[in-house]
Every structure is written in C-alpha cells, then in structure tokens.
C-alpha cells in the first residue's frame, strides 16, 4: 500500500527522465524503473556504494552512475530531468548543498525534487528551509511511508536562479 501511495506522487509522461540518487537498490528503485518503462521514459540511477554490487537483471537497461565516495558529486546534464529523488543519501553525503545545486541545474522548469530519509534521521523543517534557500518552492513533508520521511519541492520557471 505504501509503495502505491508513493507512486501516486508521480505523473510520468512519454520521454520523461527520472533520476534516483541512492545508496542501495530497493523496491522504490524497481517501481520507478517499471513506471518509467511503462511510459517509454528513461530511468537513471546514481548509486553511492562502498563496494560495487552486481546490478539486478531487471535493471540492466538503466543508465547507471556508480560513485564510491560520499563526498563526490554525481553528474547530470542541465535541464535534463523531470524529477530527482534522493533516497538515503542526502544526510550521509558530506556536502548536501552541492547535491541540491546539481539537482537544481539538472531539473527542467516546473520539475520536482524528493528527499527521502529513514524516519528520525532528517530534520524536516531544516530540510524544507534548505530547499527554499536553493530556490525550490512549496516544500512539503508528505507522509507516505511508515519508515521514511519524505520532503518534496518544485523548481519553478523564472523563479530564483532562473535556470
């Protein structure tokens, strides 16, 4: 049930590009990949991992970027994504502000950013304030998972940095 509610946050369209930045592959990864395949979109995965793990067969067609160091930024082209989802990495990365800067640049106008962390590991109000500082608008905490906090915000056209 929780996964179904999570997927209702998305409205994928043909040709959409979604990116998940995480430290482990889980049910959300598979669900997002399947959802994007169903609309002929593209799912990209950035995997922060200490040791390289074998990629499950279901994800072999995913555009994958592996990063072994939590202070290394991920790479993404400007205005190339409709949604960026940070899961279990935002509070662990040594420079979360850099992650937000990259996300802002890679998101198209009116695109969304989602930050998911295990319950109790993320200061929700501080995260919402940080999103506002980086020109993301309407940050909201959304209660979808029993075990995760989720904050979602939007990059608005012609606001803030104007990218």
- pLDDT category at 53 given cuts 50, 70, 90 is confident
Contacts of 163 by beta carbon, 8 Å cutoff, 6+ apart: 78, 79, 104, 105
Contacts of 61 by beta carbon, 8 Å cutoff, 6+ apart: none
Give domain limits for the chain: 2-155
d(CA 21, CA 31): 14
Give the per-residue pLDDT at 143. Answer: 95
- pLDDT category at 52 given cuts 50, 70, 90 is confident
Q: What is the pTM of this model?
A: 0.94
What are the tens digits of pLDDT across the range 105-118? Answer: 999 999 999 999 99
Give the per-residue pLDDT at 24. Answer: 95
Question: What is the b/e burial string over 124-141, where b = at least 16 CB atoms within 10 angstroms of the residue's CB?
Answer: eeebbebbeebbbeebee
Give the per-residue pLDDT at 163. Answer: 47
- Which homologous superfamily does the CATH classification assign to the domain defined by 2-155? Vaccinia Virus protein VP39 (3.40.50.150)
- pLDDT category at 157 given cuts 50, 70, 90 is low
Element at 122 (helix H, strand E): none
């Amino acid at each position: 049930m929780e996964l179904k509610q999570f997927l209702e946050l998305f409205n994928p369209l043909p040709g959409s590009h979604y990116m998940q930045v995480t430290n482990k592959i889980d049910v959300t990864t598979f669900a997002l990949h399947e959802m994007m395949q169903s609309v002929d979109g593209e799912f990209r995965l950035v995997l922060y991992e200490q040791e390289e793990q074998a990629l499950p067969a279901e994800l072999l067609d995913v555009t994958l970027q592996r990063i072994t160091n939590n202070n290394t930024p991920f790479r993404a082209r400007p205005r190339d994504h409709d949604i960026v989802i940070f899961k279990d990495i935002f509070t662990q990365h040594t420079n979360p502000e850099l992650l937000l800067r990259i996300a802002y640049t890679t998101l198209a106008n009116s695109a969304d950013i989602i930050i998911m962390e295990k319950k109790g590991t993320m200061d929700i109000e501080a995260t919402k304030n940080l999103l506002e500082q980086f020109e993301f608008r309407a940050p909201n905490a959304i209660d979808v998972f029993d075990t995760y906090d989720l904050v979602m915000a939007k990059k608005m056209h012609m606001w803030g940095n104007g990218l």
